[in-house]
Amino acid sequence: MNQFEKLTIKSTIQHLKCKDFSCKELTEYFIKKISDNRKLNCFITETPDHALEMALNSDKKIDNNEIRAMEGIPIAMKDLFCTKNVKTTAASKILENFIPFYESTVSKKLWDSGSVMLGKSNLDEFAMGSANTTSFFGNVINPIKGKNNSDLVPGGSSGGSAAAVAAGLCLGATGSDTGGSIRQPASFCGIVGMKPTYGRCSRFGMVAFASSLDQAGTLTKNVDDSAIMLQTICGYDEKDSTSSKMDVPKFSEYEKLSLKGKKIGIPKEYLVDGLNSEIKKSWENFSEEFKKIGVEIIDISLPHTKYSLPTYYIIAPAEASANLARYDGVRYGYRHQNVDNLDDLYEISRSKGFGDEVKRRIMIGTYVLSAGYYDAYYIKALKVRRLILDDFIKAFKKCDLILTPTTPNVSFLIGEKQDDPLEMYLNDVLTVPASLAGLPAISVPAGKNKDGLPFGLQIISSHFNEALVFKAAKFIEDTNK
């Protein structure tokens, strides 16, 4: 076995400090592994030369004892974060050749901490999808195989990031979560996916999908790595008006917290139709395991949960419709040639530049924002969103954490649900509520089904309570070993 195969972010930091190997050697290993696993299609753009340059700089920092928080750690950057002088496509034809002249805040924080960029990871186009099958650059394949060695979806939209971590092509990856796009692929790929409180991470330089929901987060092999990486990307940013000024605690010190005497709520509304029996059994088993360490398990109700999905699929497309209006073929992005007038330029550039799922959501969003429907749909959805948040606020007066499944089912065959958008949207039924409420939520591996396919449990807490989320997630991780 190669010495690098079992590495985590936490262990690698120690090895690099002790100079057991160099950042350059480590980076070369991952560059080769990515090259050997291109069939998974995890990356839209590989950046090996850039990665080696960053690795050599990290080696110099280590030699000079100027070690930063993520020094020399090779990561994948979801191709939704603008990277200066490196192509950023959002997996769309319309941005196929877009090269930003500026850096997103999240990526800048990672580079400033010493991280090494191996490349830009694949995703659903403009983060719209839950299977990573809507990318203009082709679907990502889950490194975990199904029956008869069949190809499965990695989940979405951060499927390239999740698959890359699960396949060992990087030590960690960034993701973005609008309605479950970090947690759902983490569950499908058997890794840890963390969505922090809305506002914890700056959205500056993130290609926007739904601005009131989009939040950056992390995909890692384990909980410790998640805490280390999340620490790096959080913090106030004056470039983002929705960025929080709340102090960022040292997440890696979550171990100092105690779960004894804490209360975990089990919401009856998450016992949805079609919930996989093995996932349900795991949910029940871990409730019992928490009891053994002095946690009180209580039943709670989140009565407006049933309205979460329809609420989300009004608000998110409405915001997408407004955000994606900027792609008109004029200033940047795909521009259709040989048109006679401005209307044709707009229409043809957008119809050819956007994929089917993106166009579907733009049309839904434009419809719900149109005259005569704005009050009936969009304003009503905002009111229901507030009720969903109020449910959580009331629940957290009774409990400290909420435990639920991450997804109703395990991963499925590529193309299996492609012709039924509604069935595809149901993948997010258990992750959307926390997104609408802006709450921190994590998916942590909790077991495998009879066919060996992984699934996760989700832990949700009140705003800015990520450390306690990590503590509970670590307990599940340790118990699941």
- The residues assigned a catalytic role are 78, 157, 181
What does the block give as tokens for 256? 């100092």
Nearest alpha carbon to residue 472 among 432, 448, 444: 444
Contacts of 240 (CB under 8 A, 6+ apart): 105, 202, 203, 204
Residue 227 burial (C-beta neighbours within 10 Å; 0-12, 13-18, 19+) = buried
Helix 277-292 with 466-480: angle, nearest 10 deg: 110
Does a cis peptide bond (omega within 30 degrees of 0) precede residue 157?
yes
What distance in Å separates the CA atoms of residue 2 and residue 64, rounded to the nearest whole number? 28
Contacts of 307 (CB under 8 A, 6+ apart): 384, 387, 388
What distance in Å separates the CA atoms of residue 224 and residue 240, rounded to the nearest whole number? 28
User: Which SS3 state, helix, strand or coil, does residue 398 take?
Assistant: coil
The H-or-E segment that residue 350 falls in is helix 342-353
The H-or-E segment that residue 308 falls in is helix 308-323
Nearest alpha carbon to residue 415 among 139, 38, 93, 137: 139
What does the block give as tokens for 453? 């396919």
What distance in Å separates the CA atoms of residue 229 and residue 150, rounded to the nearest whole number? 33
Q: Print the SS3 string covering 115-134.
A: CEEEEEECCCHHHCCCCCCC
SS3 percent helix, strand, coil of the chain, rounded to 5, is: 45, 15, 40
Contacts of 347 (CB under 8 A, 6+ apart): none
Q: Which residues does residue 83 pair with via DSSP β-bridges, in sequence order?
A: 86
